[in-house]
Structure 1
C-alpha cells in the first residue's frame, strides 16, 4: 500500500468516526429532550378560564387540566 492510499484510508475512517460520533450526540440529545418532556410535571398556574369574566389578562387556557379547587386546596409544599 502506498503512502497516499494509506492517508486516504485514514481520512475516510476519521470522517466515518466523526459522523458516527455526531449522530450519537444528536440522538442522545433528542432522547434527553423526550425524557425531560415526559418526566416533567409543570404546576398548575392561576389563569382566566373560559366563561369567567376578564380580570386583567386577555388570554385563557384553551383546555385547562387544572381545576380551580386544585389551585387552592393542595399547594405544593416542596418549594
Structure 2
C-alpha cells in the first residue's frame, strides 16, 4: 500500500513538472531549411509550415557601398 501511494505521488509530481515546463518555456525559432532554400546536405530538416519569419539578410560590405 505504501509503495503504491509513493508511486502515485511520483507520477503526479512528474506530470506536474512536465505541465510546468510546457507552460513556462518559450523556445525561440529553431534554424531550419525553409521552402525554396537550398539545403546543405542530406541531414537537413524543414518545417511543413514555418511559423517563424525569415531572418533579415545582414548587409555585406559590398552591398553597403
Q: TM-score range by the shorter chain?
A: 0.5 to 0.7
Root-mean-square deviation over aligned CA pairs: 2.1
What residue ranges of structure 1 are gaps of 5+ in the alignment?
A: 1-15, 73-79
Q: Which runs of 4+ in 1 moved over 2 A?
A: none
Higher relative contact order (CA 8 A, sep 6+): 2
Structure-1 residue corresponding to 2:54? 68
Aligned counterparts, 1:1-79, within 5 A? 16-50=1-35, 52-57=36-41, 58-69=44-55
Q: How many residues align?
A: 55
* Superposition TM-score, scaled by structure 1 size: 0.55
More helix by proportion, 1 or 2?
1
Displacement of 1:59 after TM fit?
2.2
Relative to 1, partners in 2 of residues 1:36 and 1:43: Cα closer, same or farther, differing over 3 Å? same
What residue ranges of structure 2 are gaps of 5+ in the alignment?
A: 58-65
* Superposition TM-score, scaled by structure 2 size: 0.64
